[in-house]
Amino acid sequence: MELKPVAERFVLHWGEMGSTWGVNRTVAQVHALLFIAGRPLHAEEIAETLGVARSNVSMSLRELQNWNLIRVVHLLGDRRDHFDVTSDVWNLFRTVVRERKSREFNPTVNVLRECTQSPDFSREDAGAQARIKETLALMEVLSTWADEMLALKPETLMKILKLGARIQNLVAKAKRTPKADGAS
Amino acid sequence: MELKPVAERFVLHWGEMGSTWGVNRTVAQVHALLFIAGRPLHAEEIAETLGVARSNVSMSLRELQNWNLIRVVHLLGDRRDHFDVTSDVWNLFRTVVRERKSREFNPTVNVLRECTQSPDFSREDAGAQARIKETLALMEVLSTWADEMLALKPETLMKILKLGARIQNLVAKAKRTPKADGAS
DNA sequence: CCGATATTTCAGTACTTACAGAAATTAGCG
DNA sequence: CGCTAATTTCTGTAAGTACTGAAATATCGG
């Protein structure tokens, strides 16, 4: 497949960002290619288009599957696996956030919990104890909040995002008239 | 400086997470050590405690300064630079989010903008054009939202976080009675 | 069940990044 | 202005990661 100029730019940029996003260049490029192609591609076609080894594509596809970003599909009369990525950016966004949370956030919450529950915890300096507790408390609030936001319908979430900082007015109002927050 | 068991666990864990957070092990360990110590440390003390080369600490401290996570302080009668990290977890959180946004998010927003404005953009498949535009639109909404949230006072932000998914009730109510969202 | 095609695994190599130790530079102090 | 302590920069090496090409395995059609 020949990429048109903007598609090529997109794929190359996605690849460059990969390292800051925690995946390698090829993985990010494969993802970008599938996203821009808008139809399922087979490994051979991906390898040719990106100019990387077939085996490298195989590994990258597996990695993308671990991220829940792609799925295998089959076309009638074609034995080859084809790979499809969601073209819904909301879905993409939510999957990435969910995965990164579980890789970059949850492990630390767990360790901090273990730290505070350890019999050795009381032997630490008072200040250190306090900072660990505060860190854990903030992370737990953020974790719960993120899970709840991820569970909302995209339209609802979008409304909240677009409201932006004006949200504070609603929160302030809710405080004055507690009934306003309803029950969940 | 001898680390007590929980502090050691904390520092080692922070170091292990470093790679998923986009910094190397030593950088994350130095940060963890300063955070847990709760007082400014000089490079020599850091190197000894962590068991790494003095020069490595120097590079790591520079990196942490690039992240706006530490600052140099001086003690009376001591020529050496001492390094202090904010012990306020809210500050830490906001700095990290701000920095990661500017490294992992903003560059892509810029490239996508350039893509859509390129004269070659119209030559792409209609579907590809649409997906790039949608991606850009979502990222711009998220970007604005994040900047606004980062600008709020911690107490306000905390209230919003604690409200969690119940926020949608306020948003729904605001829609029914538009005055409720006030003006900003 | 055989042959052809598709896919995965593996071993070696190239590339990148992290690190130590030495050398060079900077900054205070007498 | 020279001496000493502190810090940074530099160079080589080690460790880690990504990638290729080949070999092994699996899958499907006939």
- Alpha-carbon gap, residue A89 to A87, rounded angstroms: 6
Q: How far is the CA of B54 from the C1' of D2 (A)?
A: 27
User: What is the structure's pLDDT at A178?
Assistant: 58
User: What is the structure's pLDDT at B178?
Assistant: 58
pLDDT at A180 over 80: no
With cut-offs at 50, 70 and 90, classify the pLDDT of residue B167. Answer: confident
Contact list, A21 vs chain B (CB under 8 Å): 104
Closest nucleotide over all strands to B65 (CA to C1'): D8
Give residue limits of the domains in chain B: 5-85, 89-181
Say whether A4 and B120 touch across the interface (CB within 8 A): yes
User: What is the structure's pLDDT at A164?
Assistant: 86
Q: What is the DSSP letter of A76?
A: T
With cut-offs at 50, 70 and 90, classify the pLDDT of residue B172. Answer: confident
Residue-wise pLDDT for B76-121, tens only, equals 888 899 999 999 999 999 999 999 999 999 999 999 999 999 999 9
Sheet containing B70-73: give its strands across: B41-42, B82-85, B70-73
With cut-offs at 50, 70 and 90, classify the pLDDT of residue B184. Answer: very low
User: What is the structure's pLDDT at B34?
Assistant: 97
| Span B5-85 CATH architecture | Orthogonal Bundle (1.10)
Q: Mean pLDDT check: name the lowest of A160-169, B21-30, B172-181.
A: B172-181
User: What is the structure's pLDDT at B176?
Assistant: 67
Say whether A184 and B166 touch across the interface (CB within 8 A): yes
User: What is the structure's pLDDT at A173?
Assistant: 72
User: What is the structure's pLDDT at B39?
Assistant: 95
Is residue A163 helix, strand or coil?
helix
Say whether B181 and A169 touch across the interface (CB within 8 A): yes
The shares of helix, strand and coil residues in chain B, as percent rounded to the nearest 5, are 75, 5, 20
- Proportion of chain B above pLDDT 90, given as a percent: 83
Residue-wise pLDDT for A98-151, tens only, equals 999 999 999 999 999 999 999 999 999 999 999 999 999 999 999 999 999 999
